[in-house]
Amino acid sequence: MKTIYISLLGIILLTACSQPKSKQKEVISSFSSDIKSRKAEPNTPTITVLDTDFSKGRLTLKHKLTLEDLEKFHGHLCDGLVVGFLGIKEGLEILYPDGIIDRTNTRIVSKSSPCLTDVAVYITGGRYQFNSFYVDNSIEHCFYIIQRKDNYKTVKVQMNKGIKPLEINKLGAKAVKGELPACDLDKLKQMEADFSEKLLTSNPKEIFTITEIRDFKWIPVLKNDYIKTDILNKNKSNCNQNS
């Protein structure tokens, strides 16, 4: 498979999300966080979405979306993109058991990571101006909350504890502060690529927990001062330049 390019920092992985006082229903899928690395070929996950077929069209057009599509939209392929893609796929499969995601009927709340937010808007079609997307870092025990507009069924998407190597977050935090030396930046890139590969060769049901939320309150927040952490090191020197 294609080497996963790294980027970083975006993902200060969410220790989880959900509205503070929302009642949570059953845990739909929860599995051991002990993921054994498998030497299998990486999965090539896809998500099928349903859209209208022209500017005033009917809901008849299907598209199959891949990580490569997302890479072009986001700018690079990174572990955050893989986490978002696999996690949103798990959540959407609960909302749309037939496997076809109605982009005209879906809205989403995301944590502020530049990678996760790009996955959220690209895959669901949610946009703030149409009241179908907003960012909220106060959601707890998850990184996404996804809702169907027709029946208000709502799920939160959480990555299980122990899945992401702590070292990635540690180095990532230093990089965000501009304190990670050039050679360590390369090391972090490789660590994220390895993590992405691990995710793509694992069973997503062992990586994520999807939980239904009852009585979720959709409260759009408009905020534009989040830090775009994946561009902070864009002028960093190369490792061999020793700076």
Interacting residues toward Zn ion by CB under 5 A: 7, 78, 80, 115, 230
Shortest distance, CB of residue 9 to Zn ion, whole angstroms? Answer: 8
Report how far apart, in Å, the C-alpha atoms of 234 and of each of 127, 171, 185, 231 are.
27, 16, 11, 5
Residue 69 makes CB contacts below 8 A (sequence gap 6+) with 122
Pick between residue 93 and residue 230 the one whose CB is nearest to Zn ion: 230
User: How many CA atoms does the CB half-sphere of 3 hold within 13 Å?
Assistant: 6
CA distance 62 to 109: 24
What is the distance between the terminal CA atoms of the chain, rounded to a whole angstrom? 32
Shortest distance, CB of residue 98 to Zn ion, whole angstroms? Answer: 30
Inter-helix orientation angle 166-176/182-200, to 10°: 140
Shortest distance, CB of residue 78 to Zn ion, whole angstroms? Answer: 4
Pick between residue 28 and residue 232 the one whose CB is nearest to Zn ion: 232
Shortest distance, CB of residue 212 to Zn ion, whole angstroms? Answer: 28
Pick between residue 12 and residue 28 the one whose CB is nearest to Zn ion: 12
Structure tokens at 57: 């069209």
Pick between residue 42 and residue 114 the one whose CB is nearest to Zn ion: 114
Pick between residue 50 and residue 135 the one whose CB is nearest to Zn ion: 135
Dihedral angle computed from the Cα positions of residues 149, 139, 203 and 230, in that order, rounded to the nearest 10 degrees: 110
Shortest distance, CB of residue 100 to Zn ion, whole angstroms? Answer: 27
User: How many CA atoms does the CB half-sphere of 132 hold within 13 Å?
Assistant: 18
